[in-house]
Structure 1
Amino acid sequence: MKKVIFFLSLLLVACKQPTTKVSDESIFNLTSTWHTEEGKSIQLKDLKGKVLVVVMIYTSCKVACPRLVADMQDIRKKVGNNDKVQYVLVTIDPETDTPEKLKAFAISKGMDGDEWTFLQGNPETVREFANVLSVKYKEISPMDFSHSNIISVFSPGGDLLHQQEGLGVNNRETIAAILQAAGH
């Protein structure tokens, strides 16, 4: 009987998933609630355990956001299929970009797979997250914003590893940061 208990104990230890530590600087310490394009309510800590590639956009943007979306798609293509990486697009226009609108946008851009997550918060949640990312934005007219163009890479524990600023830039450093954080 002791051998069976010992074997089961070893099996439990071997099967236990490694825990991802969260530092004081982790985005997973933010307790805000978000809505996904699927209509689910989540907190950022629900994304823990994967390398996060994050950008802030809004779906009615006609200038910078289409380029940011193309950059994210390019990064995803060059990283390849990797279940350790999650691509997250956060709207800076939560009043207009409902979960339903985000879902339609995701489908229209071919970004509706499991590796893509679109988030809608409330104005305070979005402002808090933008401040953490050093993303600046300002409403300049109804449905039009001036905003920073930054793609951020976070470790599985939610620590900022890399930021890429600009549109249509070479994504080589961002891809290298993602692959290194994902263990490749």
Structure 2
Amino acid sequence: MKANREENTQSRSAVSRPWDFLSVLLPLLVLTMLIPQAVRGEQSLPGDSVYALSATLENELGKALQWRDLRGEPRLVSMVYTRCRMSCPLIIHQGMSVQQRLLEEGAAAPRLLIISMDPDHDTPEVLAETMTRYRLSPQRATFLRPRDHQERTIAALLDIRFRQRDDGGFDHTNAWLLLDADGRIVARTEKMAGVPDPAFVREVEAVMASHHSQAQGDHR
């Protein structure tokens, strides 16, 4: 009888094991379904990618986009504020000059990403007017304003420092950064006057050539 009871106990345990397994598996499956796709996608970014930050921005058309969605193409990135009448125009013109130099040499030129450090003032309408003033087309440049006061976090990732003055203006770093397609900082220049920094231009040219070569290889 004792042997039979033991057999019955083992039999019941064997039957219950699948349910025990499912009781563990089902919650895991539910948790996996609840993890946003964007979060899972971020795991594939390089550890030193600036796009690992979860941030929402608006462009000059008022369209919201995710910071990580800028991944995929090399970019030239800087930060300005549109009320600036001294250093910021130099920054913008220098980025345009880098593009122009590359185009004159028959090389591909990355798009400019110009991020506002003053999003309370730099509304999409102001950004659109600024693009018109500099005669920048959407194919050449995008102006962006961070939402939720994330401009300081983005600036820290780019190693751009700024501080608001009592008069409402900003003291800030003057810089252009070259990001590769995955958002890694490849090169940087703080030369904002005169001809484009030759070393920086060569870095941009090399990254663009490598990117297009890889893209052509992926399509073969």
SS at match of 2:82: coil
Structure 1 partner of 2:81 = 58
Amino acid at match of 2:186: L
Q: Which residues of 2 match residues 11-30 of structure 1 at below 5 A?
A: 22-30=45-53
Please give the per-residue CA displacement for 1:108-153, whole angstroms capped at 9, x wherever unaligned.
Answer: 1011332211110136310001001111101103431100101100
Match of 1:152 among 168, 174, 177: 177
Match of 2:189 among 164, 169, 174: 164
Match of 1:105 among 130, 141, 146: 130
1:143 matched to 2:168? The reply is: yes
Query: What percent identity do the matched residue pairs reach?
Result: 21
Q: Which residues of 2 match residues 63-74 of structure 1 at below 5 A?
A: 63-74=86-97
- Greater gyration radius: 2
Structure 2 partner of 1:177 = 203
Provide the aligned C-alpha RMSD in A: 1.8
Relative to its length, the structure with more strand (as a share) is 1
Flag the 1:123–1:136 CA change in 2: closer, same or farther, 3 A: farther
Relative to its length, the structure with more helix (as a share) is 2
Unaligned runs of 5+ residues in structure 2 are 1-43, 211-220
By relative contact order (CA 8 Å, sep 6+), the higher-ranking structure is 1
Q: CA deviation at 1:83?
A: 6.4
Q: Normalization by structure 1: what TM-score?
A: 0.82
| 4+ residue segments displaced more than 3 Å | 81-84
What is the number of residues matched between the two proteins? 164
Whole-angstrom distance in 2 between the partners of 1:123 and 1:173: 36
Amino acid at match of 1:24: G
1:127 matched to 2:152? The reply is: yes
Q: Normalization by structure 2: what TM-score?
A: 0.70
